């Protein structure tokens, strides 16, 4: 009965840390032990709810991947552009009108991809993959979003970028708004090898994306245990001291390496399977300092079993 009497007040006070003001008499101590357990659960629930609301900001990657990364002869390949939280599982199909550009490049030339076809879990293209290595890339239109003021710090900390704390501090000093607006831009690239990929080293060229990862060796001829070095470039220039993450299918925690002064990062590939590499930048918008621009880039490739 005592717990019921205090329940309403406890709920009102629990998240403000004032429960002990009700627990000073010995008669209430037993009830208060249960009340503190309730408070702990309420706080945990509130934190979980907050993280759930901003979870999609933290967990959703967007990637482009072929149905088969390598074959002996040229032919049709199916490319899938999808967004999800468990790479390489196709989850959410990107709408066709979000695509700003979709391109291919090979030793036979270069061009624009045709309009993609909406499938249940991905935007798809059926295109030719030529002899050698064909590079495919997609850029999405900027998309606006907003963060509540109490979500901003968690988001910035999650990004883990070298300039994130400075960007956040500047915003906190200069803005009293309850929200911050930001625009996110996404870029994705992948490679398909047919025959001998060494004959056309286009894998080492930029795809003209604002932010991208450029492999320094053929990404279609990798085997388990080998090493892949990439260069992270922003507007065509190497991006030094920035984190690059590598996720292996079937795992939850990515490997992370910070680029050197030349923008390069090196990874040992522990197993065969599908891989996704990703990087992110954050900066005040050139149009409006109170708005942030967040750029996400991914690169997928497949690693074969050790021969």
What lies within 8 Å, CB to CB, of 44 at 6+ separation is none
Tokens 């990798």 sit on residue: 222
| pLDDT of residue 236 exceeding 80 | yes
* Runs of H (alpha helix) within the chain: 2-14, 29-59, 149-159, 164-174
Q: Are strands 132-140 and 117-118 parallel, antiparallel or unpaired?
A: unpaired
Percentage with pLDDT > 90 across the chain: 57
**Predicted confidence (pLDDT) per residue in 36-61, tens digit:** 444 444 434 443 344 344 444 455 89
Residues 244 and 268 in one domain: yes
**Predicted confidence (pLDDT) per residue in 11-32, tens digit:** 444 434 433 333 444 444 444 4
What lies within 8 Å, CB to CB, of 99 at 6+ separation is 81, 116, 123, 138, 139, 140, 141
**Predicted confidence (pLDDT) per residue in 89-107, tens digit:** 999 999 999 999 999 999 8
Distance (Å, rounded) from C-alpha 88 to C-alpha 95? 19
Residues 47 and 148 in one domain: no
Instruction: Show the domain range for 14.
Output: 2-52
How many residues are given for the chain?
Answer: 307
Distance (Å, rounded) from C-alpha 117 to C-alpha 138? 14
What lies within 8 Å, CB to CB, of 16 at 6+ separation is none
Q: Contact at 8 Å (CB) between 56 and 106?
A: no
Which pLDDT score is estimated for 287? 76
Distance (Å, rounded) from C-alpha 72 to C-alpha 70? 7
- 24/120: higher pLDDT: 120
Residues 22 and 166 in one domain: no
Q: Are strands 291-303 and 179-194 parallel, antiparallel or unpaired?
A: parallel
Residues 9 and 137 in one domain: no
Tokens 């970028």 sit on residue: 161
Residues 145 and 221 in one domain: yes
Q: How confident is the model at residue 199 (pLDDT cuts 50, 70, 90)?
A: low
Residues 78 and 116 in one domain: yes
From 34, 52, 70, give the residue that closes a domain. 52
If one counts the domains in the chain, the total is 2
Residues 182 and 260 in one domain: yes
Q: Are strands 61-66 and 75-84 parallel, antiparallel or unpaired?
A: antiparallel
Residues 25 and 94 in one domain: no
Residues 157 and 37 in one domain: no
* Mean of the per-residue pLDDT values of the chain: 82
Distance (Å, rounded) from C-alpha 148 to C-alpha 20? 30
Tokens of 110: 């270069």
């Amino acid at each position: 009965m005592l717990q019921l009497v205090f329940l309403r007040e406890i709920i009102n006070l629990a998240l403000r840390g004032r429960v002990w003001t009700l627990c000073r008499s010995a008669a209430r101590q037993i009830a208060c032990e249960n009340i503190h357990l309730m408070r702990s659960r309420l706080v945990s629930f509130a934190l979980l709810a907050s993280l759930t609301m901003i979870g999609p900001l933290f967990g959703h990657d967007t990637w482009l991947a072929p149905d088969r990364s390598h074959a002996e002869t040229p032919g049709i390949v199916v490319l899938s552009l999808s967004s999800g939280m468990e790479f390489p599982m196709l989850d959410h199909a990107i709408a066709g009108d979000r695509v700003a550009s979709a391109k291919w490049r090979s030793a036979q030339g270069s061009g624009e991809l045709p309009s993609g076809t909406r499938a249940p879990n991905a935007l798809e293209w059926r295109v030719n993959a030529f002899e050698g290595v064909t590079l495919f890339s997609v850029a999405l239109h900027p998309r606006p979003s907003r963060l509540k003021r109490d979500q901003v710090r968690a988001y910035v900390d999650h990004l883990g970028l070298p300039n994130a704390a400075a960007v956040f501090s500047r915003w906190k000093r200069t803005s009293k708004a309850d929200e911050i607006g930001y625009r996110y831009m996404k870029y994705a690239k992948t490679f398909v090898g047919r025959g001998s990929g060494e004959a056309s080293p286009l894998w080492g060229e930029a795809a003209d994306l604002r932010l991208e990862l450029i492999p320094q060796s053929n990404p279609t001829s990798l085997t388990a245990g080998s090493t892949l070095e990439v260069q992270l470039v922003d507007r065509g220039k190497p991006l030094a001291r920035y984190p690059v993450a590598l996720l292996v299918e079937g795992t939850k925690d990515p490997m992370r390496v910070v680029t050197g002064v030349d923008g390069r990062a090196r990874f040992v590939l522990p197993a065969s399977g599908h891989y996704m590499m990703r990087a992110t930048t954050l900066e005040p918008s050139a149009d409006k300092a109170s708005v942030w621009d967040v750029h996400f880039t991914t690169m997928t490739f497949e690693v074969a079993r050790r021969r």
